[in-house]
């Protein structure tokens, strides 16, 4: 358990905050400074003016991501504002750098107006190779991401939506393989119809879950046809003709539970009513809808996952966004499209299924845990360096195959270059 004093000390000790800017070229002599700034800097400026693509050659743009938030949905803290959310955005920058060697500027926008967030991102886009939207509440986050994807030629990715969807999607594929269930046959129930819930549901349908087999609940219960008029456009897709009205009704006979709501909503009796070999993804943070301990108390045939590191099968977004952006940046992708997301899902699932030994660095980070593919290990661990080698090339290849890559690369050589990055980021 992290104590308040420990957390505050970590963020305030020495140089305040968690990130800094470091020059990448020599600055020891007058000649160095003349090259870094005037007069030498004029030459790359002229080249970029002639050919904007040269910005990737002469500036840091190709390895620089903006982490953008307005602080309206920060972790489990809610709408605490842009400034109070800054420690989280700096933390996001640390994760980008630590796991994929991507540089970050965190941008906190002091506005709850989606139009102002959109316009700010559009104006600063030339600085960056990609934009990671973070901790922006629904439904505004949908409009912001959609508009930016339509108007910008760099990857825009709302991690609260797609990160959770991608990681849990990989976990779902592997859980289904272990239980012997076909994705097109399983009944899936969602608790939570916010940004993460809707994104997960959309991706699960893309993976093969049938629309008629998916029930979603929000704070007022099952989203059934009788409620259609009260639901916003983003929820309309998941309205069903059903007699189920409560979460308990929906879970009766269900194969999969996906929780992205709040602690304690699921009871042991609800889990007991689920189908044989149930899959329970209780991902509310910091406390899940039901603990794996309580699930196992009534169902020894269940597979569980949560958002917490102190249980097996943590659905942790750090397994996704650094490596997805790494692959996207390295082919200068114009977007992160559905093909690239699907590639990330499949790569993560494949890595957990492989029979090769988990690196010692992972075993040291998670002492006492077992890493044989099975009910306690359905997704890789964040500290597994192989995630970079699996996800980034898969995303880069999907970008090339789907036509959004501006700079095609040789994947075999690319994998070799990523090996070098592993050594560099592991020392951070």
Which pLDDT value is given to residue 2? 85
Rounded (5°) CA angle 180-181-185? 160
CA angle 366, 369, 370 (to 5 degrees): 130
Say if CB 326 and CB 392 are below 8 A apart.
yes
Q: Tell me, what DSSP letter sits at residue 375?
A: T
Q: Would you state the pLDDT for residue 97?
A: 95
Q: Residue 182 phi/psi, 5° resolution?
A: -90, 135
CA–CA gap between residue 271 and residue 251 (Å, rounded): 7
- pLDDT at residue 322, as a whole number: 97
Query: Max alpha carbon distance in the chain (Å)?
Result: 77
- Residue 139, preceding bond cis, omega within 30 degrees? yes
Buried/exposed code over 193-210 (b: 16+ C-beta within 10 A; e: otherwise):
bbbbbbbbbbbbbebebe
Q: How far is CA 389 from the centre of its chain?
A: 17
| Domains 162-306 and 317-426 equal at CATH topology level | yes
CA distance 405 to 402: 8
Query: What's the chain's average pLDDT?
Result: 95
Instruction: Tell me the two tokens of residue 266.
Output: 């699921």
Rounded CA separation 394/327 (Å): 8
Burial (CB < 10 A; 0-12, 13-18, 19+), residue 21, is exposed
Instruction: Name residues whose C-beta falls within 8 Å of residue 373's C-beta, 6 or more positions apart in sequence.
Output: 174, 178, 352, 353, 354, 355
Instruction: Identify the pLDDT of residue 383.
Output: 87
Helices and strands per DSSP (H, E), number in the chain: 18, 10
Fold adopted by 17-155: Rossmann fold (3.40.50)
Q: What CATH class is the domain 317-426?
A: alpha beta
Where do the domains of the chain lie?
Answer: 17-155, 162-306, 317-426
| pLDDT at position 323 | 97
Please give the C-alpha separations between residue 394 and each of 318, 326, 343, 419, in angstroms, as whole numbers: 17, 11, 6, 15
pTM for this structure?
A: 0.95
Per the annotation, the verdict on 381 as an active-site residue is: no
Residue 327: what are its φ and ψ, rounded to 5°? Answer: -65, -40
Return the sign of the alpha-carbon dihedral for residues 137, 139, 144, 146: positive
pLDDT value at residue 285: 86
**Quick one: 257 exposed, middle or buried, by C-beta within 10 A (0-12, 13-18, 19+)?**
buried
Residue of 4, 18, 20, 37 marked catalytic: 37
What tokens does 419 get? 């090996």
- Residues 84, 148 contacting (CB under 8 angstroms): no
Please give the pLDDT value at position 382: 85
Spell out a b/e string for 356-373, using b for 16 or more CB atoms within 10 Å of the CB, else e: eebeeebbeebeeeebee
| Paired residues of 282 in beta bridges | 259, 306
Residue among 295, 297, 287 at smallest CA distance from 271: 295
Question: CATH classification of 162-306 is 3.40.50.720, yes or no?
Answer: yes
Mean pLDDT by 10 residues, the chain (428 residues): 91 94 95 96 97 97 98 92 97 96 98 98 98 96 97 97 96 98 98 95 97 96 94 94 97 98 96 98 94 97 94 95 98 98 98 87 85 94 93 98 97 94 76
Determine which one of 3, 10, 92, 202 is catalytic: 92
Is 311 assigned a catalytic role? no
φ/ψ (deg, to 5) at 189: -120, 130
Q: How far is CA 128 from the centre of its chain?
A: 19
Contacts of 287 (CB under 8 A, 6+ apart): 263, 264
Give the per-residue pLDDT at 422: 84
pLDDT for position 298:
98
Torsion sign over Cα 320, 323, 327, 329: positive
* Dist CA 41 CA 399 (whole Å): 33
């Amino acid at each position: 358990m992290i104590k308040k004093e420990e957390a505050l000390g970590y963020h305030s000790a020495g140089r305040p905050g968690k990130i800094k800017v470091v020059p990448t070229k020599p600055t020891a002599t007058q000649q160095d400074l003349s090259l870094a700034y005037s007069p030498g800097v004029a030459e790359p400026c002229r080249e970029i003016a002639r050919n904007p693509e040269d910005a990737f050659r002469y500036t840091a743009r190709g390895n620089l991501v903006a982490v953008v938030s307005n602080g309206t949905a920060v972790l489990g803290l809610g709408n605490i504002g842009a400034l109070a959310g800054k420690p989280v955005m700096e933390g996001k920058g640390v994760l980008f750098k630590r796991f994929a060697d991507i540089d970050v500027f965190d941008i906190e926008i002091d506005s709850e107006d989606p139009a102002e967030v959109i316009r700010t991102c559009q104006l600063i886009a030339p600085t960056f190779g990609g934009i990671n939207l973070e901790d922006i509440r629904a439904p505004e986050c949908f409009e912001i991401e959609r508009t930016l994807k339509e108007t910008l030629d760099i990857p825009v990715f709302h991690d609260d939506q797609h990160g959770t969807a991608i990681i849990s999607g990989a976990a779902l594929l592997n859980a289904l393989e272990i239980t012997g269930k076909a994705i097109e046959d399983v009944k899936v129930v969602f608790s939570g119809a916010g940004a993460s819930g809707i994104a997960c549901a959309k991706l699960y349908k893309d993976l093969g879950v049938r629309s008629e087999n998916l029930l979603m609940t929000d704070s007022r219960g099952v989203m059934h046809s009788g409620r259609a008029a009260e639901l916003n456009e983003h929820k309309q897709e998941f309205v069903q003709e059903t007699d189920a009205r409560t979460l308990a009704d929906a879970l009766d006979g269900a194969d999969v539970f996906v929780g992205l709501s709040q602690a304690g909503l699921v009871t042991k009796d609800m889990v007991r009513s689920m189908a044989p070999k149930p899959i329970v993804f209780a991902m509310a943070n910091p406390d899940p809808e039901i603990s794996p301990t309580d699930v196992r108390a009534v169902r020894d045939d269940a597979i569980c996952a949560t958002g917490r590191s102190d249980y097996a099968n943590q659905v942790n977004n750090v397994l996704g966004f650094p490596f997805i952006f790494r692959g996207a940046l390295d082919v200068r992708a114009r977007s992160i499209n559905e093909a690239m997301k699907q590639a990330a899902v499949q790569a993560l699932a494949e890595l957990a299924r492989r029979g090769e030994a988990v690196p010692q660095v992972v075993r040291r980070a998670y002492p006492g845990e077992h890493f044989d593919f099975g009910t306690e290990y359905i997704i890789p661990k964040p500290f597994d360096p192989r995630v970079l080698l699996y996800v980034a090339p898969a995303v880069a290849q999907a970008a090339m195959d789907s036509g959004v890559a501006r700079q095609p690369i040789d994947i075999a050589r690319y994998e070799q270059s990523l090996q070098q990055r592993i050594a560099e980021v592991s020392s951070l």
